[in-house]
Amino acid sequence: MSIESGAAPQKTSSKSSSFLDQREGSRSLHFVKYHGLGNDFILVDNRDSSEPKITPEQAVKLCDRNFGIGADGVIFALPGVNGTDYTMRIFNSDGSEPEMCGNGVRCFARFIAELENLHGKRQSFTVHTGAGLIVPEIQEDGLVKVDMGQPVLKAANVPTKLASNKNDAVVKSELVVDGVTWNVTCVSMGNPHCVTFGTKGGEDLQVDALNLAQIGPKFEHHDAFPARTNTEFVQVYSPSHLKMRAWERGSGATLACGTGACATVVAAVLEGRATRKCTVDLPGGPLDIEWREEDNQVYMTGPAEVVLGAFVFEVDQQERFITKKSIVPAACGIEDMIPLLVLLKVYGQLI
């Protein structure tokens, strides 16, 4: 199944019984784990097939932080379509498939640069996603700047059932969640976001004080959002400096959300709270976001790193995982570490 530009991709059906690569008589999955400000992903080299190598159900198991590898999602690097260099697809840790992932696409760019040995060569790619064309570029300083496309504000396309109140958009509208009235602005960056700076008539948000696990799911599953929603809770430090915590659709509270940071700046501009160029502080670190007036495009700049502590696993006779060896290259400094190819070698019982 391939995804069409602008359309929310559907869940992939379970086609093969195991995600394990059975070539050469062994059963293995090659992947690398990356993170963007602590928003972590298992990246799968899927360039030889337009079908993800693992199913959503298998992704749920791999993302489990106690019984699996642990991640906020699984990202697949697939062949490009319609003239693009690559296609990116992602499964959230609950197995649902979002249209886009901001931190994920920065990790994707670093992953592709390693796979294709592009050091010192062209490091900008066209990537087909469920949100349309996305263009990440690895800068000389190692940060990844991404052209995230244009925000979608039309209520029906976010999608939200809330009535539009500013042109076609929903800006600082009332949303009752669990008996409390919040002011929300709805923005799609390909995926849906509900951004709030606080409750009606309430104090400015102190985002550290929020119990995200308690309030987040109530926004995510609110009737106003037919495709569920990501929610960003935002505190304004200054017109160019915001602080945000996200409850993500399908992944819960994460340390960072790239599309959420973009939606936050768009909402802050629409509500007259911020300038078009902001730093957004997330629990995992800052992202620089610009919503350009000239072309209406949103640009996001931030890091993407390989997760340290990668291992080769095998399963012993009692079906227990044993660490075969660490493959952290001894000669490298942590900052210079090349991405690691992690070989997970297990029996089919895991998945």
Q: Which stretch binds ligand LBFN2T5F (CB under 6 A): 75-83, 130-138, 204-212, 243-251?
A: 243-251
The most distant pair of C-alpha atoms in the chain lies apart, rounded to whole Å, by: 65
User: Contact letters (x/-) for ligand LBFN2T5F, 77-116, by CB under 6 A?
Assistant: ---------------x-----x--xxxx------------
- Which CB atom, from 136 or from 250, has the smaller least distance to ligand LBFN2T5F? 250
Residue 160 within binding range of ligand LBFN2T5F, rule CB under 6 A: no
On whether the CB atoms of residues 191 and 7 are closer than 8 A, the answer is no
- DSSP string of 174-224? EEEETTEEEEEEEEESSSEEEEEEEETT-PPP-GGG--HHHHHHHHHT-TT
DSSP-derived secondary structure letter, 78: E
Active site residue 262: no
- Which CB atom, from 298 or from 343, has the smaller least distance to ligand LBFN2T5F? 298
Choosing from 107, 186, 257, 278, which is the catalytic residue?
A: 257
- Which CB atom, from 92 or from 196, has the smaller least distance to ligand LBFN2T5F? 92
User: Counting beta carbons within 10 angstroms of the beta carbon of residue 323, is it exposed (0 to 12), middle (13 to 18) or buried (19 or more)?
Assistant: exposed
**The amino acid at 41:** F
Choosing from 101, 186, 194, 278, which is the catalytic residue?
A: 101
Q: What are phi and psi of 263, to 5 degrees?
A: -60, -35
Footprint on residues 245-274 left by ligand LBFN2T5F (CB under 6 A): 248-251, 254, 257-260
The rounded distance, in Å, linking the Cα atoms of 62 and 97 is: 15
Active site residue 101: yes
The rounded distance, in Å, linking the Cα atoms of 327 and 27 is: 19
- Which CB atom, from 56 or from 102, has the smaller least distance to ligand LBFN2T5F? 102
Q: Which residues bind ligand LBFN2T5F (CB under 6 A)?
A: 39, 92, 98, 101-104, 191, 230, 248-251, 254, 257-260
Active site residues: 101, 257
